[in-house]
Amino acid sequence: MPDAKSDTPDDVSERRTHKQTDPATKFRSHPVERTVHLVTSPAPAQHTNASTSRRKSADHASGNTTQKKTDQFAKFENLREKGMWLVIPPPADTIDRDNGGARSALAEVGIGYVGGSVNTFISNQLPNAARSTIRDQLYAGQNPTFSTLNFMFVTYDLSRFGIPDGQIIVGAEQQYWTWKPGGPDRAGLNTIAYYQTFFGGKLEIKAGYLRNINEFAGTVVGGNAAANVFGASSNILYQAGMSNNAAPTPALNLKYNFDDRFYNRISIQRSLSPDGQLAQIAENPAGLNWSTANAGVLLLNESGYKNKAAPGLPETWLRAGAGFNNSSYTNLQHPEQPRANANSIYYVAADRQLWQSDVRSSAARGIYGGFSVMYAPPDLNRVSQYYELRLYAKGLFGSRPTDQIAIVATNTVWSNCAVDAALAQGHLVHRDTTAVAGTYPRIWHRAYTVA
């Protein structure tokens, strides 16, 4: 039986339909038992046949019980946050699952929820790093650095009132860093959003205080929030003013689906502070302010092609986007001059499934490859270029169908204006930074034993 934790809602629905339309399977054991009693044969043979029949009947009952346990999570799919490319772990993969029936009771009145905690410790492992600490820490890990991020989302289903795919999302977040520029510390709003569709799903609308980092570009390898960390690509998008989990801003997003693969998504978003994420959170830690100093409007557009994996059809996601921001930025080449306007960002990215390891049962399992390229003007952005190559696998091992392995190589090119200014001040600088990361985060599931 496929692992429902990694199945799509369509897979779950197909299995439920099959179970309902195959009565022969449900009652197969009863004629066998009657036949055993009617056939005249030696006692040992009767005993063997009867035992076999009872085992088959017990195995079938066990299968039905397991199927019921699998299907019980399908009813929560409509309560997961809609409109994002990011895949947050479903209820079946959470610690509390449906213990005590609390999640089911809330789902009966249209309420869904998900929460999580991400804790990170980074330390410099060079031979002399432990002998002294840096008074003015410049980056995470230069001194031992700890961070914690805790969040909770609650959704309310409006489709129960006849609103197509209607949903309200409310979320809160708390974070703490020992190195304050990495965060900084905050507790406040994560999102307040309204979502619904029109014209049979052709048009999607999402409005409120949004995190557009989860709506555009696709910055997480494989799209799975539980199995990956955000890459450096996020930094270049934050510079351009794109909102994120720690800094939501007012926005209106519209997505038009030309068919089930081609789409175009646009956004009118209040920009982050042009002085960066640290300035944004310091001025607006709760996230409720309409704007911050010198912040204007960010216009985003992304066009793409995306198809889900199916038997014999590899998964593919191609996207290209651009953003234009009229906030007042400091010109890095002439920092003493009045602030400049009209910052911008451009990106292209692609992901392709190269091999399907389980075509029939779970087509999404297999090996993938992808790349990202991003650019921002060097006179207004400290990160000017970003390149990424990735090779990753989903469910490579049959015993671990939801695990993901990734190897990611990145090259970050710093603004020549910022580098030249640092050289003039006598600082040690690098023109670019290259990194290779390998990750294998394991997704742990609770096991059921059916007696």
Measure the CA–CA gap between 397 and 9, rounded to whole angstroms.
Answer: 22
Answering whether pTM is above 0.95, one says no
Lowest average pLDDT, out of 31-45, 97-111, 192-206, 245-259, goes to: 31-45
Burial of 240-264, coded b for 16+ CB within 10 Å and e otherwise, reads bbbbbbbbbbbbebebebeeeeebe
Q: What is the CA radius of gyration of the chain?
A: 26
DSSP state of 133: -
Residues whose CB falls within 8 Å of the CB of residue 335, separated by 6 or more in sequence, listed in order: 421
The position carrying tokens 């609308």 is: 205
Q: What angle do CA 337, 342, 343 make, to 5 degrees?
A: 95
Measure the CA–CA gap between 92 and 7, rounded to whole angstroms.
Answer: 11
Give the pLDDT mean for 238-242: 95
The H or E element containing residue 50 is helix 43-71
- Reference 193, options 269, 99, 88, 301; nearest CA is 269
Lowest average pLDDT, out of 153-162, 224-233, 272-281, 416-425, goes to: 224-233
**pLDDT value of position 90:** 85
Q: Does the N-terminal peptide bond of residue 181 adopt cis geometry, omega within 30 degrees of 0?
A: no
Dig out the tokens for 205 from the structure.
């609308």
Residues whose CB falls within 8 Å of the CB of residue 383, separated by 6 or more in sequence, listed in order: 232, 235, 236, 239, 376, 412, 413, 414, 415
Measure the CA–CA gap between 204 and 254, rounded to whole angstroms.
Answer: 6
CATH class of 74-128+137-439: mainly beta
Lowest average pLDDT, out of 200-209, 359-368, 436-445, goes to: 436-445
pLDDT tens digits for range 167-214: 999 999 999 999 988 888 999 999 999 999 999 999 999 999 999 999
- Reference 310, options 246, 352, 359; nearest CA is 359
- Reference 219, options 310, 298, 123, 321; nearest CA is 321
Mean pLDDT of the residues in the chain: 83
Measure the CA–CA gap between 182 and 146, rounded to whole angstroms.
Answer: 10
